[in-house]
Homo-oligomer: A and B are copies of this chain.
Amino acid sequence: MATITVPAEVPPVSDDVEELHKAFEGWGTNEGAIISILAHRNADQRKLIRHAYAQAHNQDLLKALEKELTSDFERLILLWTLDPPERDAVLANESSKKFSGSDRALVEIACTRSSHELHLVRQVYHTKYQKSLEEDVACHTTGDFRKLLWPLVTSYRYEGDEVNMSLAKTEAKLLHDKISDKCYNDDDFIRIITTRSKAQVNATLNEYKNEFGQEINKDLKADPKDEFLAMLRATIKSLTNPAKYFEKVLRLAVNRQGTDEGALTRVVATRAEFDMKMIKEEYQKRSSVSLDSAIAKDTHGDYEDMLLALIGSTDA
């Protein structure tokens, strides 16, 4: 499911550390060396490298990279090098502090990580920011966005497969009634989406489609410019079909005037080690071109090289 490739024989951590340190020395930076190491180490290996780098050179590897690199390539390398829960904490912190209704980082972290992973993010958030994640989310958002995002980021969903079909029927009807009344911010509507297990949400939404004729997200398109409705749709899609959700984010990020590097970087950095293979398959199915060629067409230089390496492009 991951797309990154790790060499069969990984060099000793101390060698990686020295190669990276060499890449930073003198005039200019050897970006190729940085990519060839960091793009091909998994989370545990990168953690060891970061730790060993700090011991050997008395500096956080992240700080060294920050000093050497710039722009989109810098952002991608920094996000990638972080351990997943710390990376999510950073993204969530940025996103809550300068919140905009079109930002999807919080929704993605709350809906596509496992309950345990989301809890780890909340733990790291304490250590890193001396605050709680929900404290920042609830403080920096307002209105309907807060009403949705606050319970989302504090959720600890049950992860079993059991489904209560009679509950699914009742709650599908409730969702449909609220949508018919345009009560998109209804307390119970939000309660169902933010607290039920993913299996139960899936059952409820299947029931919705069977009973009322079309997918709930079609019914949530009353006003295509309404940012809260768009966030509701993103929440539902990322909960029930994360690969399709991420495919669409990537598609919209590259198929437009001027690439959306923010979204492209975030999705590649956060998914390369998890479900990027499925996301790429969805992309190929939907667009009849590979994600690799779409990214190669839309980006360039070290940024392009790093993106392609992370999504396991054979050209990289």
Report A's interface with B, CB cutoff 8 A: 115, 119, 122-123, 126, 130-135, 138-139, 146, 150-151, 154-160, 162, 187, 191, 195-197
B132 touching A195 by the CB < 8 A rule? yes
CB of A248 to closest CB in B, whole Å:
28
Q: How far apart are the CA atoms of A274 and B205 in the complex, in Å?
A: 45
Q: How far apart are the CA atoms of A150 and B154 in the complex, in Å?
A: 10
A132 touching B154 by the CB < 8 A rule? no
Q: How far apart are the CA atoms of A132 and B154 in the complex, in Å?
A: 12
The chain B residue with its CB closest to the CB of A162 is B130
CB of A188 to closest CB in B, whole Å:
9
**Total copies of the chain:** 2
Of residues A138, A139, A156, A157, which shows the largest number of chain B Cβ atoms within 10 Å of its Cβ? A156
B134 touching A154 by the CB < 8 A rule? yes
Q: Given contacts A150-B151, A151-B150, is CB(A195)–CB(B158) below 8 Å?
A: no
Chain B residues lying within 8 Å of A126, measured Cβ to Cβ, are: 115, 156, 158-160
Chain B residues lying within 8 Å of A151, measured Cβ to Cβ, are: 134, 138, 150-151, 154
Can you show 14 pairs from A to B with CB atoms below 8 A apart? Answer: A119-B119, A123-B156, A131-B197, A132-B156, A132-B157, A132-B197, A133-B156, A134-B155, A134-B195, A135-B196, A135-B197, A138-B151, A138-B195, A154-B156
Chain B residues lying within 8 Å of A131, measured Cβ to Cβ, are: 158, 197
CB of A169 to closest CB in B, whole Å:
15
CB of A106 to closest CB in B, whole Å:
15
Q: How far apart are the CA atoms of A180 and B134 in the complex, in Å?
A: 27
The chain B residue with its CB closest to the CB of A187 is B146
The chain B residue with its CB closest to the CB of A131 is B158
A155 touching B158 by the CB < 8 A rule? no
Q: How far apart are the CA atoms of A196 and B139 in the complex, in Å?
A: 10
B154 touching A155 by the CB < 8 A rule? yes
A135 touching B150 by the CB < 8 A rule? no
CB of A234 to closest CB in B, whole Å:
21
B156 touching A134 by the CB < 8 A rule? yes
A130 touching B160 by the CB < 8 A rule? yes
